[in-house]
Amino acid sequence: MSLEEVKARGWKELDIILISGDAYVDHSSFGTAIIGRVLEDAGFRVGVIAQPRWDSPEDFKKLGKPRLFFSVSAGNTDSMVSNLTPGLKPRNKDAYSPGGRAGIRPNRAVIIYSNKIKEAFPEVPIVLGGIEASLRRFAHYDYLSDKVRQSILADAPADLIVYSMGELQIVEIAKRLQAGEDIRNIRNIPGTVWKTEVKAWKELKERAEKSDNRLNEKEQEKSEQEVTEQEKSEQKDEKIAEDAATFLKQYLEIPSFSEVSQDKTAFAKAFRIYFAEQNPVTGKGVVQPHPKTVIVQNRPMRLLTEAEMDHVYELPFTGETHPSYTEPVPALEMVKFSLTTHRGCFGGCAFCAITEHQGRMIASRSIESVLREAKKLTEKPDFKGIINGVGGPSANMYGMECKTWEKKGACLDKSCLYPRVCPALDTSHKKLLELLRRLRELPGVKQVFTGYGVRYDLALKDEEYLEELCAYHISGQLRIAPEHFSRQVTNAMCKPGREVYEKFTQKFTALNRKCGKEQYIVNYLMSGHPACTLEDMIEMAEYVRDHGGYTEQVQDFTPTPMTVSTCMYYTGLDPFTGKKVYVAKGKKEKAMQRALMHYRNPANYELVYEALEKAGRLDLVGNAHKCLIRRKGKW
């Protein structure tokens, strides 16, 4: 992170410099650390510039000019999410900054960082990566500006985007640049996005069209003729045209930026097409024309194998913040003694972008690899004997697979868990149970907790797992995410209905009673999601009232790029059926929806009353047991 550290390594220059909107934490839960360690492992000299000042290019010069390229990321989250609340107010804390200080990264960090790099080193290639770049790779609805923005590659002076999990792509890019290849010619790596001039793309399409026409003509020719020099030249042109046609067959063109920014039906159509191509087994490339450039997404990169996953997570991470920091980074405190077991999630929640970033298929580490990492945790001087998390995007999909994945990837026409768990899916928790048992037996490990991330509809398929979860792996509270209790809303979210939730809570209570423990469920709930009306929120408030599930763990839906829910929020359409979806967009209604979840809070009285009045439910105002609030002014 400094020239002094570069000299201490005996290096004269760096090959690659990673720019990040997060503080530098050398832990495998942080994307910059993984990419840095993977590149180092491949033999490259890597530097990191973390949270640079963006008012001038000076901070971007502090490690000198990299020999190969800059890689730019906003950090572990989109900069809008890091900086702003769902109400678009500045956050007062940033978990990825030293001391939790806010305001250290700009909004649209990837674009701003790229512009400053271009000022400082105009000739050095720039590769974008991380959540912000990955999920803004096509024209997308931007909540901050409330409009459709161009692909981030059209707005940033960069050469490539690495989308999804990027270890394989970034090493391939580095090796090809090392070999002297021009980054403008690196256009065939899966899991990357590149851009080309509108004129060049038009010419490519014209060549492909000529090839198709020529093939039709050849079918009508009946006799062979002597090949003249002119014909040789024509054959050469034909070969170029055929190559163009072959190339284009690997790609699907979706509605352009001009179309999707003006027509919501076109936006939904574009989303539906590229959503279906995020399959590393069957997916094609996707092309989207923009006014000044054409954005080309190559097919997705394959998943890492088990051996590759093991190798990545056993690279020599220190597990600590960089020694230059004098304050802790809160995000590390949450994961310092946790273990990543797998990537991907087949849950398919409409509001979640994991499907578009890590994919629906599960890539897991071996049990032995996870155990080796756990053993290293026990050797840390500040380890107190507690592993506080074991899992991935979910806690209980480790080692799971479907028999269809190898040949065709995750199904395009149905979800693995919604509206019910697919019978083709292997829902056995056997491998996870073996891992948890062996972790508990490790010397120095007192407890292994899984207090969050459990997909409860999946857990219901394996009572042995659920029983051991209650007996050994919960520290008093289990956090789960039913999100809502109205059927209309859970259908829009692609989440299980409340009958599945109730079955789980009953089983949870019974198993805790059996093992003699008093443990509780904490629900994560959401207001303002597409399809959610005031009536739905009142239904949820009544359900919470009747079942004793009052909670402060409520979030207002925030539209983030490339999710099904954001597409519905912007267009008012279900992109897969074309049916209209109700969307609460006004600040007042969103505030009323959220207030209904905190109806006991005196500060929300006026909003709750107004919501009940608007919905014609003033029967819920009064002194009766069923009422949510008392008469005005009387608590």
Element (H, E) at 7: helix 3-8
Which one has a higher pLDDT value, 238 or 530?
Answer: 530
Residue ending a domain, among 445, 475, 505, is: 475
Asked whether residue 212 carries a pLDDT value surpassing 70, the answer given is: no
User: What confidence tens digit (pLDDT) does each residue in 363-399 have?
Assistant: 999 999 999 999 999 999 999 999 999 999 999 999 9
What tokens appear for 46 in the block? 């890597």
235: confidence class by pLDDT, cuts 50, 70, 90: low
Domain boundary among 444, 475, 506: 475
Residues 508 and 559 in one domain: yes
Query: Does the residue 315 lie in any domain?
Result: no
Pair 486, 627 in one domain? yes
Is residue 176 a part of any domain in this protein? Answer: yes
Share of the chain above pLDDT 70, in %: 94
Question: In which band, very low, low, confident or very high, does the pLDDT at 209 lie, cut at 50, 70 and 90?
Answer: confident
Q: Which tokens in the block code for residue 209?
A: 């069209």
If asked whether residues 357 and 399 sit together in one domain, one would say yes
Give the pLDDT band (50/70/90) at residue 553: confident
Q: What is the mean pLDDT of residues 594-612?
A: 94
Is 532 annotated for ligand binding? no
Both 452 and 511 in a single domain?
no
In angstroms, the CA 42 to CA 26 distance is 17
Dist CA 44 CA 286 (whole Å): 31
> Which residues constitute the domain of residue 570?
477-634
For residue 624, what is the domain's CATH number? Answer: 3.30.750.200
What tens digit of pLDDT does each residue of 162-188 get? 999 999 999 999 999 999 999 999 999
Domain assignment present for 621: yes
Query: What is the model's pLDDT at position 582?
Result: 98
**390 neighbors 436 (Cβ within 8 angstroms):** yes
Q: Average pLDDT for residues 218-236, to the nearest whole number? A: 56
Reported as a pLDDT band with limits 50, 70 and 90, residue 474 is: very high
Lowest average pLDDT, out of 16-20, 75-79, 156-160, 222-226, goes to 222-226
Residue 223's pLDDT is: 44
Residue 148 lies in a domain: yes
**pLDDT category of residue 231 using cuts at 50, 70 and 90:** low
Q: Are residues 471 and 481 in the same domain?
A: no
Best-predicted range by mean pLDDT among 20-29, 216-225, 402-411? 20-29
Of 252, 272, 300, which residue sits at a domain end?
A: 300
Neighbours of 438 (CB within 10 A): 16
Domain co-membership, 436 together with 511: no
User: Do 187 and 68 share a structural domain?
Assistant: yes
pLDDT at 242: 75
Decide if 462 is inside a domain.
Answer: yes
Cα–Cα distance measured from residue 546 to residue 398, given in angstroms and rounded to the nearest whole number: 35
Would you say residue 314 lies in a domain?
no
What 8-state DSSP symbol labels residue 183? Answer: G
User: Are residues 179 and 40 both part of a single domain?
Assistant: yes
Report pLDDT for 236: 62
pLDDT attached to residue 631: 86
Look at residue 276 and tell me if it is in a domain: yes
Answer whether residue 634 shows pLDDT above 70: no
Half-sphere exposure of 105 (CA within 13 A, CB side): 36
Residues 384 and 505 in one domain: no
Residue 494 counted as an annotated binding residue? no
How far, in Å, CA of 119 to CA of 59, rounded?
A: 12
How many domains does the chain fold into?
4
Confidence of residue 632 (pLDDT cuts 50, 70, 90): confident
Does residue 309 belong to any structural domain of this protein? Answer: no
Looking at the structure, tell me whether residues 484 and 629 fall in a common domain.
yes
280 and 354 in a common domain: no
Sign of CA dihedral 527, 528, 531, 532: positive
Query: Are 68 and 185 in the same domain?
Result: yes
**pTM (two decimals):** 0.94
Nearest to 95 by CA among 49, 29, 185: 29
Q: Tell me the per-residue pLDDT of 445-466, one tens digit each, with 9 for 90 and over.
A: 999 999 889 999 999 999 999 9
Which SS3 state, helix, strand or coil, does residue 526 take? Answer: strand
CATH code for the domain of 406: 3.30.750.210
What CATH number has the domain bearing residue 32? 3.40.50.2300
Does 627 appear as a known binding residue? no
Residue 352 has pLDDT above 60, yes or no: yes
Separation between Cα atoms, residue 481 and residue 499, nearest integer Å: 14
**Mean pLDDT estimate for the chain:** 93
